[in-house]
């Protein structure tokens, strides 16, 4: 009987740890004896990458050539003294955070103060004390290594997330797609997405359907960040694959998506989604929702209408979920408004005053209600004020404007 | 949709300072002399520090730590009850205070005392009488440093939590041990694998599915790039392939379909190399098609080197018109098939060289006498890791016909 087959997953890589003994230390002193002594003490303590400069000019040249991890700097030197070296290092942003230990006499209050004013990291007493020198070198190098490892990790993750973010941005309709849509259908779209971190789970899109109709969706994945984005990419793929053939019937399309989502998503993962079809010939908008906010229609006269109060289960929860359809007129001069739930919560217009009345009040404040683009700007500005620069949740809104008579082209 | 999951955006800063808030840093003064305590307090207040507390000896200092949660301690050495040396040692023994800056301020100025203080875990040492400029400079340096470190640590902690969960999600796309055991029991085909993204997430993805007619369908996918971005693409392809019917699997047709569906999804410059195939024990064959994948290596009992299959073909996601061709290799009972992502042949083994196909073939030849599949894979991977450090995602799959 053989052992079961092995399917192994390697553990995730960790940042390499550079022990402090591999750090480079530059000793700057014009006295041979001091350089030798400091070098010997450091060497004996296990530091093997040491280099030496006999004056400030040489030290700066060596640092510019190959930055050490720590500098031990004498004050009184010919040509350029330690204070000047320090000032120049701090003025250069590549060396502003380089740890520098200045050697001064314990009693030299004025020197000590000048050294701190010039930006020293620490002082070591002169005459040299072995234990203190080594303790201070160790503390600053450990700190240096710690910060370097943490920074390396952060830069690596940030660059991965930047790359992923550009892929996320690529999912959303670009300017040229929207221009084509406007040309073909007369529909103009404004959108606003505010993510709680580098990546998020809110996506939206439009798709031309047979017969000149337009399918539009807004999807809000449970959770935030990378996890929500991984699932949002899955859902986007499903939508992309099926919208062409199944996109004409909003309720049917959500059912189909739901049945695929149930197979893909882990327990606890789910998506709120609104999907609708705009028919610019019949002047209608029909939609279905799965736990998403019902769209609202800002009419040309400044009133706000809502076709229904559909509910529906989130997608991915139950294979048996069914969805209903609601329709409303969408005529020239109207603006159709889709939101993620978080937007309603942030603006506090879900409950106070409820729904459309809250939105009317909000829009009415700024624009008198008649100018939909002004209303959009006002809503997004208000949203930014309410949630700040780092919102707790992803927020999206997508507005479709059916151009008033005589404004096409 | 907001959920109570850990997120970089919502957690309160865990005892960390922002760089702009150095002056709000919490400082605990520990000194048994009342005049000294108030002198230090006044000095710190003059320096702009507002959150300052005091303790009269080491014991009181330790008692106050959990509640006051200081960002820095100014510690006297000679004190009744518990002196500074001992207080420092005890505090360092607690992981919560391992990195807390402890600035010793003492009238002891002998080198031995300084050495003892550093040995006890002091971060810094100043002698009394206190030089105001120096003390404030040192306090500021330590607080700035602590703020920088705790910001970075917070970032790492949050990112690691998030990426670890994402990594688990990605592992769930892959075959499980239970599936492998089922395949072995049903088909007499044993599958061992190793999956190692070069960072938390990666662009490799593979699957195996029995076709219900005694054959095993397998595909191994390697998306360009690595990290989170490449992983997003693996989730896309997995969503596409989830409902794929593998009955009467035709590898070339499979790749044609995948290519046509990936093309509109992938941004320009991103693509996937894929090897898709079916192991047919009845026919004694491995039928496959390749979209620019690595060459499958296959060997029968008694062979001394593996046969390398042709794997030419355009990667998927580049050109929608690309087509793929079916190929076959003989795979009699007892044969083994080795599939791998290109990290295995692009392993950097020096400044200028990579292992390459020839190098990998030699290694496989060296270990192919190893009868146990898990050991073969283990020895091969150990040997690869000894030669260089992978800078790309590695997937290795060994499929052997037991009967």
B103-121 tens-digit pLDDT: 999 998 888 898 899 999 9
Buried/exposed code over B358-387 (b: 16+ C-beta within 10 A; e: otherwise): ebbbebbeeebeeeebbebbbebbeebeee
Which chain B residues are within 8 Å of A12, Cβ to Cβ?
163-164, 167, 197, 199-200
Handedness of CA A248, A249, A250, A255 (dihedral sign): negative
| In the predicted structure, residue B8 carries a pLDDT above the cut 90 | no
CB contact B128 to A (< 8 Å): no
- Is B197 in CB contact (< 8 Å) with chain A? yes
Listed residue (A319, A328, A270, A323) closest to A298, CA to CA: A328
State the nearest Cα–Cα gap between B56 and chain A, in angstroms. 27
- Which of B169, B239, B382 to mutate: most A Cβ within 10 Å? B239
* A222 to B196: CB separation less than 8 angstroms, yes or no: no
Q: Is B268 on the interface with A (CB under 8 A)?
A: no
Give the residue from chain B lying closest to A164, CA to CA: B229
Residue A218 preceded by cis peptide, ω within 30: no
A15, pLDDT greater than 60:
no
pLDDT in the model for residue B109? 81
- Of the candidates B122, B125, B31, B126, the residue with the CA atom closest to the CA atom of residue B83: B31
Q: What pLDDT is recorded for position A107?
A: 73
From chain B, the residues in CB contact with A176 under 8 A are: none
- The pLDDT value recorded for residue B15 is 42
CA distance A368 to chain B (A): 31
Chain A interface includes B156 (CB < 8 A): yes
Nearest neighbour of A129 by CB, restricted to B10, B114, B229: B114
Which residue in the set B10, B176, B261 is minimally distant from A392, CB to CB? B10
The minimum CA-CA distance between B232 and chain A, rounded to whole Å, is 6
Record: contact A122-B162, CB cut-off 8 A: no
Q: Are strands B394-401 and A271-279 parallel, antiparallel or unpaired?
A: unpaired
Looking at residue B243, what DSSP letter applies?
T
Assigned superfamily of A172-402: PPM-type phosphatase domain (3.60.40.10)
Enter the DSSP assignment of A147. H
| Pairing between β-strand B327-330 and β-strand B285-291 as defined by DSSP bridges | antiparallel
In this predicted model, what pLDDT tens digit does every residue of B384-401 receive, in sequence order? 999 999 989 999 999 999
Domains in chain B (CATH in brackets) are 8-163 (3.40.50.2300), 173-401 (3.60.40.10)
Phi, psi of B334 (to 5 degrees): 90, -5
- Contacts made by residues B208-214, CB under 8 angstroms, sequence distance 24+: B208/B175, B208/B179, B208/B180, B208/B183, B208/B399, B209/B246, B210/B182, B210/B183, B210/B186, B210/B246, B211/B246, B211/B247, B211/B248, B211/B249, B211/B278, B212/B247, B213/B247, B214/B187, B214/B280, B214/B281, B214/B282
Contact B235 A164 (CB under 8 A): no
User: What is the arrangement of strands in the sheet containing B26-30, beginning at the earlier edge strand?
Assistant: B51-55, B26-30, B72-75, B102-106, B124-127
Residue B192 to residue A240, Cβ atoms within 8 A: no
Residue A16 pLDDT greater than 80, yes or no: no
Task: Please calculate the CA angle B181-B185-B186 and round it to the nearest 5 degrees.
Answer: 115
Q: What is the mean pLDDT of chain B?
A: 92
Extents of the domains making up chain A:
19-152, 172-402
How many residues make up chain B in this entry? 403
Q: Is B225 left (phi over 0), alpha (psi -120 to 50) or beta?
A: left
User: What H or E segment, with its residue span, contains residue A237?
Assistant: helix A225-246
Regarding beta strands A24-28 and A49-53, do their DSSP bridges make them parallel or antiparallel, or are they unpaired? parallel
B131 and A109 within 8 Å at the Cβ level: the answer is yes
The DSSP symbol for A346 reads H
* Span A48-93, pLDDT tens digits: 999 999 999 999 999 999 999 999 999 989 889 999 999 999 999 9
The alpha carbon of residue B312 and the mean position of all alpha carbons in its chain are separated, in whole angstroms, by 32
Q: Give the 3-state secondary structure percentages of chain B, helix then strand then coil, rounded to 5.
A: 40, 20, 40
Total beta-carbon pairs less than 8 A apart between chain A and chain B: 228
pLDDT score recorded for residue B234? 97
What would the DSSP string read from start to end of B94-162?
SGGGTT--EEEEES--SHHHHHHHHHTT-SEEEESSP-HHHHHHHHHHHHHHHHHHHHHHHHHHHHHHH
pTM of the model as a whole: 0.87
Q: Which residue of A has its CA nearest to B374?
A: A6
Q: Pick from A225, A244, A391 the residue to mutate for testing the B interface (most B CBs within 10 Å).
A: A225
Indicate yes or no: CB of A230 within 8 angstroms of CB of B232. Answer: yes
Distance between CA A109 and CA A101 in Å, rounded?
Answer: 16
CA torsion sign, A217 to A220 to A225 to A230?
A: negative
| List of chain A residues whose C-beta atoms are within 8 Å of the C-beta of residue B8 | 197, 225
The answer for residues whose C-beta is within 8 angstroms of residue B197's C-beta and 6 or more apart is A10, A12, B167, B170, B203, B204, B226, B231, B393
Mutate to test the interface with B, among A220, A226, A265 (most CBs of B within 10 A): A226
Of A13, A135, A266, the CB nearest to B198: A13
Query: Residue A396: helix, strand or coil by DSSP?
Result: strand
Indicate the class that CATH gives domain A19-152.
Answer: alpha beta
Q: Looking at residue B199, what DSSP letter applies?
A: S
Cα distance from N-terminal residue to C-terminal residue, chain B? 52
Answer for the pair A237, B236: CB distance below 8 angstroms, yes or no: yes
Inspect the interface and report whether the beta carbons of B109 and A106 lie closer than 8 Å: yes
Above 80 in pLDDT, residue A19?
no
Contact A218, A342 (CB under 8 A): no
Q: How many CB atoms lie within 10 A of CB B57?
A: 19
CB contact under 8 A, A164 and B240: no
Q: Is the pLDDT confidence value at A292 over 90?
A: yes
Higher pLDDT, B67 or A17: B67
pLDDT of the residue at B16: 44
How far, in Å, CA of B132 to CA of B119, rounded?
25
- Give tens-digit pLDDT for B250-285: 999 999 999 999 999 999 999 999 999 999 999 999
What residues contact residue B305 under an 8 Å CB cut-off, 6+ apart?
Answer: B299, B361, B364, B365
- How many whole angstroms separate alpha carbon A339 and alpha carbon A193? 10
A272·B145 Cβ contact <8 A: no
d(CA B11, CA A399): 32
Closest residue in B to A264 (Cα–Cα)? B239
Q: B282-303 pLDDT, tens per residue? A: 999 999 999 999 999 999 999 9
Cβ-defined contact of A260 to B242 (cutoff 8 Å): yes
Q: Does residue B50 have a cis bond before it (omega within 30 degrees)? A: no
| B245 contact partners, CB below 8 Å, separation of at least 6 | none
Which residues does chain B have within 8 Å of residue A236's beta carbon, measured at their own beta carbons? 236
């Amino acid at each position: 009987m053989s052992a079961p087959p092995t399917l192994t997953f390697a553990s995730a890589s960790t940042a390499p740890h550079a022990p402090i003994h591999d750090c480079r230390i530059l000793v700057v002193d014009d006295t041979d004896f001091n350089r030798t002594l400091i070098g010997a003490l450091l060497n004996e303590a296990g530091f093997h990458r040491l280099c030496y400069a006999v004056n400030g000019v040489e030290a700066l040249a060596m640092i510019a050539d190959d930055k050490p991890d720590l500098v031990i700097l004498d004050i009184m030197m010919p040509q350029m003294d330690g204070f000047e070296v320090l000032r120049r290092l701090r003025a250069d942003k590549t060396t502003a955070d380089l740890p520098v230990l200045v050697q001064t006499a314990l009693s030299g209050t004025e020197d000590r103060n000048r050294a701190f004013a010039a930006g020293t990291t620490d002082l070591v007493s002169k005459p040299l004390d072995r234990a203190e020198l080594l303790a201070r070198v160790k503390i600053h190098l450990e700190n240096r290594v710690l910060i370097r490892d943490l920074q390396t990790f952060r830069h690596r993750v940030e660059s991965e997330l930047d790359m992923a973010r550009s892929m996320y941005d690529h999912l959303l309709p670009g300017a040229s797609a929207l221009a084509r849509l406007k040309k073909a259908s007369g529909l103009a779209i404004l959108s606003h997405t505010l993510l709680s971190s580098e990546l998020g789970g809110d996506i939206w899109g439009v798709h031309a359907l047979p017969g000149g109709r337009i399918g539009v969706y807004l999807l809000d994945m449970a959770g935030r960040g990378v996890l929500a984005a991984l699932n949002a990419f899955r859902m986007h793929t499903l939508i992309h694959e099926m919208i062409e053939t199944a996109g004409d019937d909003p309720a049917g399309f959500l059912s189909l998506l739901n049945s695929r989502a149930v197979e893909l998503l882990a327990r606890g993962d789910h998506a709120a989604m609104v999907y609708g079809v705009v028919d610019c010939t019949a002047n209608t908008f029909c939609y279905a929702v799965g736990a998403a906010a019902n769209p609202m229609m800002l009419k040309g006269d400044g009133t706000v209408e809502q076709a229904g109060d559909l509910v529906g289960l989130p997608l991915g929860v139950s294979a048996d979920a069914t969805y209903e359809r609601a329709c409303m007129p969408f005529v020239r001069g109207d603006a159709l408004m889709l939101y993620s739930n978080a937007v309603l919560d942030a603006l506090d217009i879900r409950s106070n005053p409820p729904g459309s009345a809250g939105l009317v009040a909000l829009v009415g404040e700024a624009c008198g209600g008649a100018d939909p683009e002004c209303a959009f700007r006002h809503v997004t500005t208000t949203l930014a004020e309410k949630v700040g620069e780092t919102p707790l949740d992803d927020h999206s809104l997508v507005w479709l404007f059916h151009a008033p008579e005589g404004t096409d082209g | 949709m907001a959920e109570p999951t850990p997120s970089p955006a919502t957690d309160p800063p865990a005892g960390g300072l922002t760089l702009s808030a150095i002056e709000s840093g919490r400082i605990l003064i520990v000194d048994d002399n009342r005049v000294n305590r108030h002198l230090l307090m006044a000095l710190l207040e003059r320096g702009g520090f507002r959150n300052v507390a005091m303790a009269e000896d080491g014991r009181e200092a330790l008692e106050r730590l959990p509640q006051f949660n200081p960002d820095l301690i100014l510690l006297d050495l000679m004190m009744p009850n518990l002196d500074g040396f001992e207080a420092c040692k005890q505090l360092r023994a607690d992981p919560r205070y391992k990195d807390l800056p402890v600035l010793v301020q003492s009238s002891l100025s002998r080198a031995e005392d300084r050495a003892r203080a550093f040995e006890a875990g002091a971060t810094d040492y100043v002698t009394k009488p206190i030089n105001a400029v120096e003390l404030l400079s040192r306090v500021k340096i330590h607080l700035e440093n602590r703020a920088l470190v705790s910001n970075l640590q917070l970032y790492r902690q949050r990112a690691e939590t998030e990426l670890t969960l994402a990594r688990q999600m990605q592992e769930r796309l892959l075959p499980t041990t239970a599936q492998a055991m089922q395949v072995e029991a049903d088909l007499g085909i044993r599958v061992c694998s190793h999956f190692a993204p070069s960072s938390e997430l990666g662009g490799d993805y593979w699957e195996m599915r029995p076709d219900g007619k005694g054959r095993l369908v397998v595909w191994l996918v390697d998306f360009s790039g690595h990290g989170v971005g490449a992983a997003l693409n693996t989730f896309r392809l997995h969503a596409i392939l989830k409902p794929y019917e593998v009955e009467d699997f035709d590898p070339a047709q499979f790749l044609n379909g995948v290519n046509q569906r990936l093309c509109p999804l992938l941004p320009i410059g991103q693509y996937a190399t894929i090897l898709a195939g079916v192991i047919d024990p009845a026919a004694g064959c491995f039928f496959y098609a390749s979209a620019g994948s690595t060459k499958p290596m296959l060997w029968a009992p008694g062979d001394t080197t593996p046969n390398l299959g042709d794997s030419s073909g355009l990667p998927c996601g580049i050109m929608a018109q690309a087509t793929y061709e079916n190929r076959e290799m003989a795979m009699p009972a007892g044969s083994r098939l080795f599939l791998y992502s290109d990290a295995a042949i692009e392993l950097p083994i020096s400044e200028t060289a990579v292992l390459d196909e020839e190098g990998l073939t030699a290694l496989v030849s060296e270990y192919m006498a190893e009868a146990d599949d898990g050991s073969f894979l283990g020895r091969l991977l150990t040997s690869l890791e000894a030669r260089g450090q992978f800078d790309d995602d590695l997937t290795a799959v060994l499929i052997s016909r037991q009967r």
